[in-house]
Amino acid sequence: MIKHLLSGGDLDADTATEILDTAAEMATVAGREIKKLPALRGRTVVNLFYEDSTRTRISFEAAAKRLSADVINFSAKGSSVTKGESLKDTALTLQAMGADAVVVRHPASGAPHRLANWVDGSVVNAGDGTHEHPTQALLDAYTMRARLGRLAGLSVAVVGDVLHSRVARSNVLLLSTLGAKVTLVGPPTLIPVDIAGALAPGTDVSYDLDSVLPNVDVVMMLRVQRERMNDSYFPSAREYARRYGLDGPRMRRLPEHAIVMHPGPMNRGMEITPEVADSPRSTIVEQVTNGVSVRMAVLYLLLGGNNR
């Protein structure tokens, strides 16, 4: 097993499948009266969050607690970071407190990689800048496998702001490792030139959502980050919604079995309409539930044995 989880590309097909299989076992714990396993008793997991997050932080916290680990939550607001403490000094502080794993979210791409060189414990990337978010990709893959029964051979469209999306990058890497075919869809301004070839060979790019929809098993909508809306990547929010938003008529062009995913938080009416978000095809709530199981699997596989 690997020591850190920094990128969707860290995982080979066997390891990724092991995580998904373990997550399936962890999911059964959620249905029990006692939602607790003793596997990580006495281990300390630090959630180091330099960016706001609801579901990822809570999900990691719930995952660690269900495995009986001790959880320390750190958010940059209200910490010594506001006094100018560097990431390295913060990391060394955590090290001195005996953190066995550090779950880090940071606005700078690559921060978790740096951190991994400074601490002895395992580092889990919970989103770094516009780079990667590997546990999101794992939970997306888990959700696809749970709904559609397989990953190999699936056709997945990832739609929206690919340029700034760490979710898209991790998903392309992981899904192509697991044998799915990804098509990136969005306005040309939001899809980096050559990204498909650079991330994973076999990935396609399209600027026309309507032509892609009839041929996919999964359509994953990305959030349009509000702060980007005024940056002239597209003429107006309404135009974006008209061309790349998923609404009812577009959803009905999907094959019968296809599912709609969104990593959250959603901008209802922007990239996805309420009709789609609340339809039976939508897996948005399942994704949150599966997130806890997948993160339990990741923490167990990183910390459960003596893998140091």
User: What residues form the annotated binding site for carbamoyl phosphate?
Assistant: 55-56, 105, 133, 136, 264-265
Closest contact distance (angstroms) between CB of 72 and another protein is 20
DSSP per residue, 222-282: PP--GGGTTTTSSS-HHHHHHHH-B-HHHHTTS-TT-EEE--S---BTTTB-HHHHTSTTB
If one asks whether residue 26 binds another protein (CB under 8 A), the answer comes out as yes
Closest contact distance (angstroms) between CB of 28 and another protein is 7
If one asks whether residue 196 binds another protein (CB under 8 A), the answer comes out as no
With contact defined as beta carbons under 8 Å apart, do 246 and 275 qualify?
no
Residue 246 CA: distances (Å) to CA of 165, 261, 285: 18, 11, 17
Closer to another protein by Cβ: residue 230 or 306: 306
With contact defined as beta carbons under 8 Å apart, do 1 and 307 qualify?
yes
If one asks whether residue 153 binds another protein (CB under 8 A), the answer comes out as no
Closer to another protein by Cβ: residue 27 or 258: 27
If one asks whether residue 12 binds another protein (CB under 8 A), the answer comes out as no
Write phi, then psi, for 251 (nearest 5 degrees). Answer: -60, -35
Please select the residue that binds another protein; options are 36, 226, 253, 257, rule is CB under 8 A: 36
Closer to another protein by Cβ: residue 28 or 236: 28
List alpha helices for 31-186, DSSP H: 55-66, 87-96, 111-118, 134-148, 166-177
Closest contact distance (angstroms) between CB of 24 and another protein is 8
DSSP per residue, 284-303: HHHHHHHHHHHHHHHHHHHH
In angstroms, the CA 43 to CA 53 distance is: 23
Closest contact distance (angstroms) between CB of 209 and another protein is 40
Contact code string over 53-92 relative to another protein, x by CB under 8 A? --------------x-------------------------
If one asks whether residue 290 binds another protein (CB under 8 A), the answer comes out as no
If one asks whether residue 307 binds another protein (CB under 8 A), the answer comes out as yes
In angstroms, the CA 229 to CA 137 distance is: 25
DSSP 213: G
**Number of chain positions touching another protein (CB under 8 A):** 22
Residue ranges for the known binding site are 55-56, 83, 105, 133, 136, 166, 223, 264-265
With contact defined as beta carbons under 8 Å apart, do 134 and 5 qualify?
yes
Residue ranges for the known binding site for L-aspartate are 83, 166, 223
Closer to another protein by Cβ: residue 21 or 85: 21
Residue 125 CA: distances (Å) to CA of 27, 116, 164, 210, 213: 22, 10, 16, 34, 31
If one asks whether residue 286 binds another protein (CB under 8 A), the answer comes out as no
If one asks whether residue 14 binds another protein (CB under 8 A), the answer comes out as no
If one asks whether residue 165 binds another protein (CB under 8 A), the answer comes out as no
If one asks whether residue 38 binds another protein (CB under 8 A), the answer comes out as yes
Note the residues at the interface with another protein (CB under 8 A). 1, 18, 21-22, 25-26, 28, 32-34, 36-39, 67, 300-302, 304-307
